[in-house]
Structures are given as C-alpha cells and as structure tokens.
Structure 1
Amino acid sequence: MAAADDLIAFLAPKLGTEIHVGPWLAVDQGRIDAFAAATGDIQWIHTDPERARHESPYGTTIAHGFLTLSLLPFLTEANAPGQFERNYPGMRLRVNYGLNRVRFPAPVKTGSRIRARTVLAALEPLGAAVQITYEITVEIEGEAKPACVVEQLFRLSP
C-alpha cells in the first residue's frame, strides 16, 4: 500500500493540469492503407484518394477514427525510454484498463499532422494499485477542432 500512497502523493499536485504534449506525427496514405488492411476497414473514404477527391466532403481521404485512437501510445510517448520510471516511481506494471469516453470531433485528412495533449484527470487508490485517468486531446495542426478527445484509464501496480 505504501507504493500506491507514494505514487498518489507524487502525482496529486499535477491533478487537473496538462502533464504532457506529444510529438507531431504526419498521417500519410501509407499509414491509413496499412491500418485498413490490418482491420479490414477498407471504406473508400479512407482508401481511395481519387474517389475521395470527387465524392468526399473533405476533398481527400481521411484517417480512420480508430487509427487515431490506436496511435495514442506514440502520441503520448507512453512507452518512451525512461517515461515509466519518471512518471510512476515505485510501480513496476502499468495496464491499459480502457476508455471512458471517445469522440472524434474532426477528421484527420491525409497528410495532416496530429499530436496529443494529456491532462491528469483523476487518481484512485485500488488497494496496492492506483488507477489513473487521463484526458487526452489529439489536435490537428492548423485546425480549430480536435481529431479525438478521450478519457483513458491505466492501473499501476507495485
């Protein structure tokens, strides 16, 4: 229990604040096509640039919402070297517990750059473990609306 209490004491001053801004990532057609192939979601709005140019309200192909969501580990640098040790002292294991809310307010057009902003939203002790809730906003460079807004939960154990 001490490790959980120590982690909560370490993180509590950061509650409600932006704790990380990730790197920009360009979302190109190759990445979109690879995601379509991996998931079987080959809808033309994602995979047919010529048709999208003429028929899509966006004038181009767009990334799958779930592609944007699947990029969260990269966009938040969740697994960058040293990140775990710096942000979760005393813990040895982090498990993705799931998502509370996911919204895709704006499409990610092919060639756009996106990045994630992370706010520490909640901390909850769970015996020897701690549950952390992050509010993550994936922004699109030059756009007013974000690509994705999500609450992500992790459970950390000593």
Structure 2
Amino acid sequence: MVVVNSYEEFEAHLGKEIGISQWHTIDQDQINKFADATLDHQWIHTDEEKAKNEGPFKATIAHGYLTLSLIPYLWKQIADIRNIKMEINYGIESFKFGQAVVVNSEVQLKAKLQSITNLRGITKVIIQATLIIKDQPKPAYTGDVMFLYHFN
C-alpha cells in the first residue's frame, strides 16, 4: 500500500502505477443487494436459473455500475491518503466495459496516477482504473476516476 501525506508525495507517483488491490469476490448476494438498491432487477443479473439456461454467459453477471461502485473500496486498499480534511469522489471519464463479470468472479483494481493538479490548495487527481477479472484475458473496464483531496 502506498501512503500519501501531501500533494508533493502524490506528485512523485505521476505517470506510474500506484498499485493493485486485493481480490474481491462478487457473489450473488452482492448482485441482488445492488439490484435492490438501484431498482435494476434485469434477469441477467438476478434470475440465476434463466441466466444459466438462456443467458449468453450461462450464469448471472454483475451490473456494470456495481463494478464501478467498487472503486472507492478497492482504491483504499491501494493508497492510504493521510493528512486530509476531506476526500470527494469528483467524477469518472471515458470508461469502457471490456468484459462482463460473471457471478463469483474475483476482481481487483489496478491504479495508475494519470494527472495531478493543484486547484488553489485542493488536490485533483485522475487515476486510471482498470478492473482485472481473475483468469480472464480482458479487464472488466478501464477508465479514469477523479478524486479531490483537501490536505491539511
């Protein structure tokens, strides 16, 4: 895990891979809870029998937005940003989904610091986020996520 205490320490990682999270298993319970939270109960996510018999993946798959929502959780396994008053999820850009995440797949986040900007004392970072699926050749997605850090 990378520890960052200041803008300058963050800047030292510019253009570099910061790290990779631990593996996280996306199980049916998590998919169902996400479906309930977002009111998205499309059968390809929640109907295990129909997905097995009629679906293109022969099993349910995680919602694309579920996989995106894991970014803050997995990012905190990669970088410990200290000495801050506040952290804000600021935005996402240019995400491309490359492959579906089948139920019970293990995923991990790979993060690279694309850019860092000092916005009048607020640190804006753009992290290239790639969600790797264990034993699969293509990632679930790649794109840029933005965070704002208010260092003390």
Over residues 124-156 of structure 1, what are the superposed CA-to-partner deviations in whole Å (9 max), with x where a residue is unaligned?
111111211000101000001111212111112
How far apart in 1 are the matches of 2:10 and 2:71?
Answer: 21
How far apart in 1 are the matches of 2:78 and 2:20?
Answer: 14
Structure 1 residue 113 corresponds to structure 2 residue 106 = yes
- Provide the TM-score with structure 1 as the length reference: 0.86
Report the residue type matching 1:95 in the other structure: I
Could you tell me how far 1:12 is from its partner in structure 2? 2.4
Conservation of the 8 A alpha-carbon contact between 1:20 and 1:76:
no
Over residues 37-78 of structure 1, what are the superposed CA-to-partner deviations in whole Å (9 max), with x where a residue is unaligned?
111100000001111111111111000000001111222226
How far apart in 2 are the matches of 1:71 and 1:38?
Answer: 14
Structure 1 residue 60 corresponds to structure 2 residue 89 = no
Percent of pairs with identical residues: 34
Report the residue type matching 1:145 in the other structure: K
How far apart in 1 are the matches of 2:93 and 2:112?
Answer: 15
Query: Which residue of 138, 142, 145 corresponds with 1:149?
Result: 142
SS at match of 1:76: helix
Could you tell me how far 1:119 is from its partner in structure 2? 0.3
Over residues 20-51 of structure 1, what are the superposed CA-to-partner deviations in whole Å (9 max), with x where a residue is unaligned?
21010111111101111111100000001111
For structure 2, the residue ranges without an aligned partner over 5 or more in a row are: none
How far apart in 2 are the matches of 1:78 and 1:101?
Answer: 23
Conservation of the 8 A alpha-carbon contact between 2:91 and 2:145:
yes
- Provide the TM-score with structure 2 as the length reference: 0.89
Moved segments of 4+, more than 6 Å: none
Q: Which residue of 2 aligns with 1:137?
A: 130
How far apart in 1 are the matches of 2:47 and 2:54?
Answer: 10
For structure 1, the residue ranges without an aligned partner over 5 or more in a row are: 1-5
Structure 1 residue 73 corresponds to structure 2 residue 72 = yes
How far apart in 2 are the matches of 1:77 and 1:35?
Answer: 20
SS at match of 1:92: strand
SS at match of 2:35: helix
Structure 1 residue 93 corresponds to structure 2 residue 86 = yes
Q: Which residue of 2 aligns with 1:3?
A: none
Identify, as 1 or 2, the structure richer in strand.
Answer: 2
Q: Which residue of 1 aligns with 2:16?
A: 17
Identify, as 1 or 2, the structure richer in helix.
Answer: 1
